[in-house]
Structure 1
Amino acid sequence: MKNLTLILLSLFTWQTLIAQPPPDHQWVEVIVSPNNSDWLYEIGEEAEFTVTVLKRNVPLENATIKYSIGPEKMAATIENEVVLNYGAIKISGGTMKTPGFLRCYVSTEVDGKTYSGWATAGFEPEKIKATVQKPVNFNIFWNEALAENAKLPLDTKMTLLPERCTEKVNVYHVSLQNWKRGARLYGILCVPKAEGKYPAVLKVPGAGIRPYYGDVQFAEDGVISFEIGIHGISVIMPQQNYDDLLAGWNNQYWNNNVNDKDAFFYKRVYMGVVRANDFITALPQWDGKNLGVMGGSQGGSLSLVTAGLDKRVTAASPIHPAMCDMTGYLEGRAGGWPHYLADTTKWSRASHPDVLETIGYYDAVNFARQIRVPVLFSFGFNDTTCPPTSVYAAYNSVTSPKETFLAVESSHWIFPEQYEKQRAWMMKQLKK
């Protein structure tokens, strides 16, 4: 009964923490569909979008729609307003002359409430090239930082969590010393009870501050899992504690010291993911050769960073990775979250050279360029948080074996099928 309660609690918490698809049926649905079923086009090919407005699953006649079409995250090149006489309409979206993504955004007002939908056509995205430049001393910078961090004793503290353990798995709350003396990195370790040597996976987090529950199922299946937080605080407190922190001193932490590459918030984080691997590879149960890393959004970028920084990693699986090609906006196209440079009236190469310098050292693309192990990417074309232009900039920069598992309609949510694919792929890589 205790284990059943734990499983149900974990499932409930997991579902509430991840981005989910919208309800299957909203009161009014705006459906935008490209005329190519794979949402892909050749450069110069005309894209067409079909727009349907449904109410109670029935096309809503005489609905007035507003639509705009243009490169994702950029100013629209086409804007119009039309009436759907028969509940649907076909719209010519034009084309693109360079590799990228063209988005058709549609909205309608029904009974005083606005509903919207969009679709994003990809034009030869496998040819998208990254805009971010790699600093000349990129590897020197990170090797020095990691060497300095390695001088700190791990000072590992492990506390068994009996209420989370199962018949086959021990679950621990773990903390390690990271970044500076006295500062900690926290996570949940799940390890098989049976004696033996096991592969391992590091699970890195999406943006935000929250508790973690560990991945017991991986350990049940014979894989050590270590799920970490990045904020230097315990990961087993009540949710309200994290809400208070995010609303207070750690609000928009991703902006902290972005103008200083040595003091930027993510320096601590990037050192921490390698520190987590130091802990995993020191475990007597680790098999000594197989170490994966996986995560979504911020965790997607951290997956690329970890694989690019740490040669012990043997496989990486990011879902809609953030922090990719963040300088895209300066070249007139979408850049990755947190969209530091989106307002080009405020940011430019000349006005903020310190921010641009920092981005060069932390952009996930520059780590992707160094990956030498298999990588599985999963993401969507409709993503407005981690635009597909930025993700393809990272994907196209990887020279090792790689593949995609696309959920084109995803707007930064994750379908269960994506998790299933990511997990099955990672298991296959770790069990080779």
Structure 2
Amino acid sequence: MTDLSPDQLATYRSTQTAPDGFDDFWAGTLAEAAEHDIEVRLSEVPTGLRTISTYDVTFRGYAGQDVRAWLRVPAHTTGPLPAVVQYVGYGGGRGHALQNLLWASAGFAHLQMDTRGQGAGWSLGVTPDQAPSSPQVPGVMTRGILDPATYYYRRMFTDAVRAVDAARSLDVVDNSRIAVLGGSQGGGNAIAVAGLRSDLAAAVAFVPFLCDFPRALAVTESYPYKEIIDYLMVHRTEVEPVHRTLQFFDGVTFASRATAPALFSAALRDTVCPPSTVYGAFHEYGGEKEIEVWPYNGHEGGGILDEERALAFLRGRLGPST
């Protein structure tokens, strides 16, 4: 194992604290975004599939900027259906129209959000990050990191909240049965959205990233967290403003404000998102919660078994999908 023992994880608590003004910061950020109509635009994409209909989606996210997504629904359905809003791991985008068919195949409306400024590391993306540049380590972890107002994840988390609004606007979606889901960075997004919204039916976070920054920066030498370490190796006098910014984006604090039932997963040999950081958020989570632990896995976590477990979990929380 690469981190704390299971007994230690059971009692571990993060040292992260919510900064003064956390709730006002996010209320103001989301109020600014809400000044722009969500303006969901759909265009059906011919995929050759008989059982799933796929749509290219554009909606207005942070600052009214366009964010892309895929919507996949069971073919020939009129709804309303329970919905899964999914977020993508670090470096990835929404991918190809023929990828990620599980949720629609299981009968859910599936909205998969693209990731602004990413989508070239391992999975295709098309949404730019429209923000002024500043000195940063390659990647997005230090983009605008000296101020919460300019930090990259302010824009991404706002997009993620707005993706739920986009799903709610669709006739095919049952607004009372919407869940958020993701792994790694996508799991961090799911926790943030669960902490910022009170209208979710469930949340799923596989081996979530962006949790318990103080612990992560102390124990891991793996990227993407190491982007922040690399930055501070050069910007030696900026430790305090960097850590202050990160306080506004920590899954530990979002988790404490969440109420939707949640399923987490953690892997005890994960050096990318050490299990103690996952437990830091899990123990603070404010709603009903459970966690699946994979003792012999790294950042891949449970892989398809995580998805199998999530499918059963979401059926139990969202009800029948047809």
Per-residue deviation, 1:355:
0.7
- Which digits, 9 at most, give the CA deviation of each residue in 1:386-429, with x for residues without a partner? 00111111111113211111111111113322221122212221
Matched letter for residue 417 of structure 1: L
The structure that is strand-richer by fraction is 1
Structure 2, unmatched stretches of 5+, are none
Partner of 2:46: 162
Helix, strand or coil: the match of 2:68?
A: strand
Cα distance 1:129–1:305, how it changes in 2: closer, same or farther (>3 A)? same
| Residue 133 (structure 1) aligned with residue 17 (structure 2) | yes
Higher relative contact order (CA 8 A, sep 6+): 2
Structure 1, unmatched stretches of 5+, are 1-38, 40-70, 73-100, 102-120
Q: 1:208 aligns with which of 88, 91, 96?
A: 91
Partner of 1:223: 108
CA contact (8 A) 1:327 1:341 kept: no
Q: 2:182 aligns with which of 295, 304, 318?
A: 295
Partner of 2:78: 195
Per-residue deviation, 1:354:
1.3
| Residue 254 (structure 1) aligned with residue 136 (structure 2) | no
Cα distance 1:260–1:212, how it changes in 2: closer, same or farther (>3 A)? farther
CA contact (8 A) 2:141 2:227 kept: no
1:69-88 alignment runs, 5 A limit: 72=3
- Which digits, 9 at most, give the CA deviation of each residue in 1:277-317, with x for residues without a partner? 11101111222201111111101111101111111212111
Q: 1:285 aligns with which of 172, 176, 183?
A: 172
CA contact (8 A) 1:318 1:376 kept: yes
The structure that is helix-richer by fraction is 2
Distance between the aligned counterparts of 1:225 and 1:310, measured in 2? 19
| Residue 180 (structure 1) aligned with residue 63 (structure 2) | yes
CA contact (8 A) 1:335 1:389 kept: no
Cα distance 1:241–1:416, how it changes in 2: closer, same or farther (>3 A)? closer
Deviation larger for 190-199 or 336-345: 336-345
Matched letter for residue 422 of structure 1: A
Cα distance 1:123–1:165, how it changes in 2: closer, same or farther (>3 A)? same
Cα distance 1:350–1:409, how it changes in 2: closer, same or farther (>3 A)? same
CA contact (8 A) 1:129 1:396 kept: yes
Cα distance 1:126–1:338, how it changes in 2: closer, same or farther (>3 A)? same
- Which digits, 9 at most, give the CA deviation of each residue in 1:66-106, with x for residues without a partner? xxxxx74xxxxxxxxxxxxxxxxxxxxxxxxxxxx1xxxxx
CA contact (8 A) 1:349 1:356 kept: no
Distance between the aligned counterparts of 1:335 and 1:241, measured in 2? 27
Helix, strand or coil: the match of 1:131?
A: coil
Per-residue deviation, 1:241:
7.3
1:60-75 alignment runs, 5 A limit: 72=3
Distance between the aligned counterparts of 2:232 and 2:103, measured in 1? 47
1:330-345 alignment runs, 5 A limit: 333=219, 338-339=225-226, 342=229
Distance between the aligned counterparts of 1:142 and 1:349, measured in 2? 28
CA contact (8 A) 2:73 2:110 kept: yes
TM-score (norm 1): 0.64
1:405-420 alignment runs, 5 A limit: 405-414=292-301, 415-420=303-308
Per-residue deviation, 1:254:
2.2
Distance between the aligned counterparts of 1:222 and 1:420, measured in 2? 14
Partner of 1:391: 278
Per-residue deviation, 1:153:
2.2
Cα distance 1:219–1:345, how it changes in 2: closer, same or farther (>3 A)? closer
Distance between the aligned counterparts of 1:189 and 1:241, measured in 2? 16
Cα distance 1:271–1:395, how it changes in 2: closer, same or farther (>3 A)? same
CA contact (8 A) 1:200 1:280 kept: yes
| Residue 304 (structure 1) aligned with residue 186 (structure 2) | no
Per-residue deviation, 1:209:
3.3
Per-residue deviation, 1:131:
1.3
| Residue 428 (structure 1) aligned with residue 316 (structure 2) | yes
CA contact (8 A) 1:326 1:359 kept: yes
